[in-house]
Amino acid sequence: MKITEIAELTPQELLGRKRELREELFKLRVQQQSGQLERPHLIRAARRNIARIETVLSRKVKEAAAK
């Protein structure tokens, strides 16, 4: 996901998407430990997407608090 796509989502949608990504990351790590992960770059991509979502969420919370 790109940051522009993430910025358009509501805080509730962001929390839902973050939860989905954390579940996906867990599944990828389990696959990696069992030796079944064919595309290890997906772990890095999931971590980065989670970080992007957390950044946008914190910005939105700060904006809401300032109002």
CATH code assigned at 21: 1.10.287.310
Name the band, by pLDDT with cuts 50, 70 and 90, for residue 24.
Answer: very high
CB atoms within 10 A of CB 31: 16
Name the band, by pLDDT with cuts 50, 70 and 90, for residue 1.
Answer: confident
66 domain-assigned: no
pLDDT, mean of residues 4-17: 95
67 domain-assigned: no
Q: Which residue has the higher pLDDT, 1 or 29?
A: 29
Taking only the tens place, the pLDDT of each residue in 48-62 is 999 999 999 999 999
Q: Tell me the residue range of the domain where 7 lies.
A: 3-61
29 domain-assigned: yes
Determine the pLDDT at residue 56. Answer: 96
40 domain-assigned: yes
32 domain-assigned: yes
Cα atoms in the Cβ-side hemisphere of radius 13 Å centred on 67: 5
**pLDDT at 67 > cutoff 90:** no
